[in-house]
């Protein structure tokens, strides 16, 4: 059961590892907070888009200008030439929109993961996690270990909820929203999430700005905040990777040496052990007759 797995994991991890993990999380948060300001643009940026009427929201020239605003010292850095290589014969509109949206989205996920890692290392919800009264995973466990001891149903709820948000953003923006919002690969704005106004079932809050605090923000403010978000997202990607590498490969992150407990699980197998129940104790190769 989840409780038995948690108890076993607690016995393995010493209290000192838990303390070190909490301390390192706070240190890393402090470093990230200080470093993020170094990446931010000092002055409001002008609009990157050359023309709202153009079907192509951003061109390669716009990417080069954006790169200079994000980091003047490095500038436009594309060693693989992705910005000049249309995907599968698609147009520049499709390729640039896909790349821009992918970076913004991965940055947002990384920021959520980094903050979640720090919060999970120092705090857990006091109420029950499941209907049978099981508590949330212990703070003696590291975040990857906390995920491992979650019930399979809880993991599926998280995956399905995030999957719905992804699915909705793709089908909604491709058909358009009030205000003629277009898909990011079809001339739309990369990183912009559609509202829930077109949802058949009323939804009281939107994913972005649910309380309408920024509805009167100027275009210059929006552009500057987007630059800050991209830079902070890039920093967060390094941050969460640093945590995972330090736990799975001792010594790979010198700054975190001795501060995080080791993790012997497989971070690339999020359902490790859960599918054993479905497959009847057989491997996927055996269960699907692939051997």
Instruction: pLDDT tens for the chain, 291 residues: list them.
Output: 444 444 444 443 444 444 444 444 444 444 444 443 433 333 333 434 333 333 445 788 888 898 999 999 999 988 888 888 887 678 888 888 899 999 999 999 999 999 999 999 999 999 999 888 899 999 999 999 999 989 988 999 999 999 988 988 887 665 544 445 788 888 788 888 888 877 778 888 888 888 888 888 898 998 899 999 999 999 999 999 999 999 999 889 998 888 888 898 888 888 877 776 566 555 555 655 555
**Of 96, 103, 99, nearest in space to 54 by CA:** 96
3-class DSSP state of 235: helix
Query: What percentage of the chain's residues is helix, strand, coil (to nearest 5)?
Result: 55, 0, 45
- Ramachandran angles phi, psi of 241, nearest 5°: -65, -35
Tell how far CA 190 is from the center of its chain: 16
pLDDT of 105: 94
- Ramachandran angles phi, psi of 124, nearest 5°: -140, 150
Cβ burial of 59 (10 Å; 0-12, 13-18, 19+) is middle
Determine if the pTM surpasses 0.75: no
């Amino acid at each position: 059961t989840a409780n038995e797995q948690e108890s076993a994991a607690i016995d393995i991890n010493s209290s000192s590892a838990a303390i070190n993990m909490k301390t390192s999380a706070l240190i890393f948060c402090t470093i990230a907070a200080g470093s993020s300001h170094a990446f931010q643009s000092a002055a409001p940026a002008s609009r990157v888009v050359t023309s709202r009427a153009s079907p192509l929201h951003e061109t390669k020239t716009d990417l080069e200008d954006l790169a200079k605003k994000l980091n003047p010292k490095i500038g436009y850095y594309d060693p693989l030439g992705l910005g000049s290589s249309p995907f599968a014969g698609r147009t520049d509109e499709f390729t640039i929109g896909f790349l821009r949206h992918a970076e913004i989205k991965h940055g947002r996920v990384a920021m959520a993961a980094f903050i979640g890692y720090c919060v999970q290392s120092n705090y857990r919800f006091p109420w029950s996690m499941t209907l049978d009264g099981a508590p949330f995973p212990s703070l003696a466990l590291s975040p990857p270990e906390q995920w491992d001891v979650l019930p399979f149903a809880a993991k599926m709820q998280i995956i399905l909820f995030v999957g719905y948000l992804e699915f909705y953003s793709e089908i909604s923006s491709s058909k358009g929203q009030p205000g003629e919002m277009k898909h990011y690969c079809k001339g739309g704005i990369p990183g912009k999430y559609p509202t829930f106004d077109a949802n058949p079932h009323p939804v009281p809050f939107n994913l972005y700005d649910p309380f309408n605090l920024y509805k009167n923000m100027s275009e210059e403010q929006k552009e500057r905040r987007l630059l800050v978000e991209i830079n902070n997202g890039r920093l967060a990607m390094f941050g969460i990777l640093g945590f995972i590498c330090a736990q799975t490969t001792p010594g790979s992150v010198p700054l975190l040496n001795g501060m995080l407990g080791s993790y012997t699980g497989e971070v690339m197998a999020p359902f490790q052990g859960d599918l054993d129940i479905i497959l009847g104790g057989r491997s996927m190769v055996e269960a699907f007759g692939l051997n």
